[in-house]
Chains A and B, each alone.
Chain A
Amino acid sequence: MRAKDVLGRRGEELAAGYLEAQGMRIVDRNWRCSEGEIDIVALDGDALVIAEVKTRKSLAYGHPFEAVGVDKLARLHRLASAWCRDHELRMPLRRVDVVAVLDDGIGEPAVEHLKGVG
């Protein structure tokens, strides 16, 4: 496993823990299909939450949030539909969240969470 994948994996663990602490129920992790991958699928009350996790060691290459562009958002929405189809579920309440993890490997990692983007 390469260093960046290790970092990404650790970020996703942190994010999942954070979302659970916020009262969400994690229902799926790293779900893949031909279109791409969903990092975290969770339930927030009645709403299905598709969460994208971005992890960075520093802000040197910009904030993790800035790495989520319009294309990425559109794909996340398509993936949400694909996940529902795959699981034969009808979830009228759906949203896409983005979780940013800043983890320099020394101090306490910082987690930021944006709900219902795009």
Chain B
Amino acid sequence: MALGRTYSVALVGLNGYIVEVEADIGQTLPAFIILGLPDASLNEAKERIRSAAQNSGIPLSRRKITANLIPASLPKRGSGFDLAIAMAALLASNDVRSTGRTVFIAELGLDGRLRPVRGVLPAVMAAVRAGYADVVVAQANAAEAQLVPGARVQGYATLARLAFDFGADPQDLALDFDPAPESSEAEAEAGVPSLVPPDMRDVSGQGDARRALEVAAAGAHHLLLTGPPGAGKTMLAERLPGLLPDLGDAEAMEVTAIHSLCSLTSASLHLVRRPPYENPHHTATPAAIIGGGSGLPRPGAASRAHRGVLFLDEAPEYERRVLDALRQPLESGELVLHRSAGTAAYPARFQLVLAANPCPCGKATGKGVDCICTPTMRRRYLARMSGPLLDRVDIQLQVERVSLADFGQPAAEEDTATIAARVQAARERQLGRLLPFSLETNAQVPGRVLRGALRLGAPTTRILDHALERGVLTARGYDRVLRLAWTLADLALREVPEADDIGLALNLRQAAVAA
């Protein structure tokens, strides 16, 4: 029978679906047709496959090859189906033996080499979940595919070698063709200097800000830093990822899967163990931040910062709709993007750090004598960050310029490792307390739990109740203060927050400018 059947994976966002590839050889004039909603790059597969097979020594049949990608209704894009289609066509002409339930994910070079593709990690995860454990990928993708537990991964350098292992006649095969490994792999090892993460020791003075950063890290609270230029807002924000604990296994897979989708190079990917840090420029569009692009939307900076830190420097300079678009992921930890080509859901549970100057000229600090901005200008500037957005930011801190007394004694400060150890301890306490509610950090605790199972005594919350009564705090703000208080207690190794913790928490929230 002139029919071959293989399997591959189509990605829709981070979700993969098994795609069955059928190839049929019809006894009529030579042609190559791909069915099943291929996009332009998939349609070009025909030419890549013909040349690759020819140059590997196993030319495709000189008849009409019809490749059908099932389910037909699922739009398929990209070059990752090349190998599955090629193997199906070779099967149809009986050049190789049946490949069973093996899943093929690789692009073909004209010379017959297997090239790496994006998104191999989520694709292999989907294959294994669907019960297809045997996976063939390009050599350069093998390490990434092997990250998936339960996958039996085979990395191949060329189509000829793969065909040989599936029983093709070795006489014709170009087996001695051995392409140099993808240059990116060598680059990854040699070219990219290993980044030394910035250390908290470099931050002189700024006791309040250091403390706020530690609290933010411990409870995964969102953070707003306002202050004049040069106060060290960016410096502080850059050091937050270093304070966060390593990612757990499941989290690391989520983060690596997103990075696998986004990677522009085909550099071999390792499991991302450290929380990512995204620092987009303030001219970024909504599509760049939350995800978008033609066809199926691709993840944006917010998703790349999943389980890490999204730092928006000069936050009032961002387009308002960019900032407001972040409200949904801040609540749900997920971005669901609807487009005509389909719906993609990307996780986006990031820790938001906003930095802002106090006014357009940036000098409205202290007495603000040098500031040339009118009060209206100042108010309008900070109002660009909408109320509903700021309402979700637990810690709002004013950062002052560092004083001369604190400057110049850099060695005296605590380093990142010391603070990170306290953060780790605080996280463990939270986990112990919040596990019954299947939560992980204080920042995630919903109001009904705060005011229900974790209710504090009335004497403890008195100032808070007052603030709510006077209308200084919204109901949501009330809950935020409670969350901060819990984190402060966790850092101080106290079982339950005391009135002092509440007071301090209220301070961390209200220190923001009320210009």
Task: Find out whether the CB atom of A66 lies under 8 angstroms from the CB atom of B28.
Answer: no
Indicate if B340 sits at the interface (CB-CB under 8 A): no
Scan A82-107; emit 1 where CB is below 8 A from any B CB, else 0.
00000000000000001000000000
Indicate if B455 sits at the interface (CB-CB under 8 A): no
Indicate if B27 sits at the interface (CB-CB under 8 A): yes
Task: Find out whether the CB atom of B28 lies under 8 angstroms from the CB atom of A63.
Answer: no
Once the chains are docked, how many angstroms separate the CA of A115 from the CA of B254?
Answer: 55
Indicate if A74 sits at the interface (CB-CB under 8 A): no
Scan B22-36; emit 1 where CB is below 8 A from any A CB, else 0.
000001111000000
Tell me the chain B residues, 52-74 only, with Cβ under 8 Å from chain A.
62-63
Once the chains are docked, how many angstroms separate the CA of A12 from the CA of B103?
Answer: 46
Q: Which residues of B contact A3 (CB under 8 A)?
A: none
Once the chains are docked, how many angstroms separate the CA of A65 from the CA of B29?
Answer: 6
Indicate if A33 sits at the interface (CB-CB under 8 A): no
Once the chains are docked, how many angstroms separate the CA of A94 from the CA of B29?
Answer: 18
Tell me the chain B residues, 1-45 only, with Cβ under 8 Å from chain A.
27-30
B302–chain A nearest beta-carbon distance, Å: 50
Once the chains are docked, how many angstroms separate the CA of A63 from the CA of B30?
Answer: 9
| Number of residues from A at the complex interface, CB < 8 A | 11
- In-complex Cβ contact of B30 among A65, A73, A116 (8 A): A65
A56–chain B nearest beta-carbon distance, Å: 12
Task: Find out whether the CB atom of A63 lies under 8 angstroms from the CB atom of B27.
Answer: no
| Number of residues from B at the complex interface, CB < 8 A | 6
Tell me the chain A residues, 53-83 only, with Cβ under 8 Å from chain B.
63, 65-66, 68, 73
Scan A103-118; emit 1 where CB is below 8 A from any B CB, else 0.
0000000000011111
Q: Which residues of B contact A115 (CB under 8 A)?
A: 27
B419–chain A nearest beta-carbon distance, Å: 69
Task: Find out whether the CB atom of B28 lies under 8 angstroms from the CB atom of A117.
Answer: yes
Once the chains are docked, how many angstroms separate the CA of A116 from the CA of B30?
Answer: 14
Closest to A70 in B: B29
Once the chains are docked, how many angstroms separate the CA of A114 from the CA of B64?
Answer: 11
Q: Which residues of A contact B62 (CB under 8 A)?
A: 63, 65-66
Once the chains are docked, how many angstroms separate the CA of A98 from the CA of B30?
Answer: 11
Q: Which residues of A contact B63 (CB under 8 A)?
A: 65
A116–chain B nearest beta-carbon distance, Å: 8
Once the chains are docked, how many angstroms separate the CA of A22 from the CA of B145?
Answer: 54
Once the chains are docked, how many angstroms separate the CA of A117 from the CA of B63?
Answer: 11
B119–chain A nearest beta-carbon distance, Å: 35
B219–chain A nearest beta-carbon distance, Å: 68
Q: Which residues of A contact B30 (CB under 8 A)?
A: 63, 65-66
A61–chain B nearest beta-carbon distance, Å: 13
Q: Which residues of B contact A66 (CB under 8 A)?
A: 29-30, 62
Q: Which residues of A contact B29 (CB under 8 A)?
A: 65-66, 68, 73, 98, 114, 117-118
Closest to B61 in A: A63
Q: Which residues of B contact A114 (CB under 8 A)?
A: 27-29
Once the chains are docked, how many angstroms separate the CA of A40 from the CA of B63?
Answer: 22
Residues of B within 8 A of A (CB): 27-30, 62-63
Query: Can you offer 16 A-B residue contacts whose CB atoms are under 8 A?
Result: A63-B30, A63-B62, A65-B29, A65-B30, A65-B62, A65-B63, A68-B29, A73-B29, A98-B29, A114-B27, A114-B28, A114-B29, A116-B28, A117-B28, A118-B28, A118-B29
Residues of A within 8 A of B (CB): 63, 65-66, 68, 73, 98, 114-118
9 residue pairs, one from A and one from B, having the closest CB atoms: A63-B62, A66-B30, A117-B28, A117-B29, A65-B30, A65-B29, A68-B29, A65-B62, A114-B28
Beyond A63-B62, A65-B30, 4 additional contacts (C-beta under 8 Å) are A66-B30, A66-B62, A114-B27, A114-B28
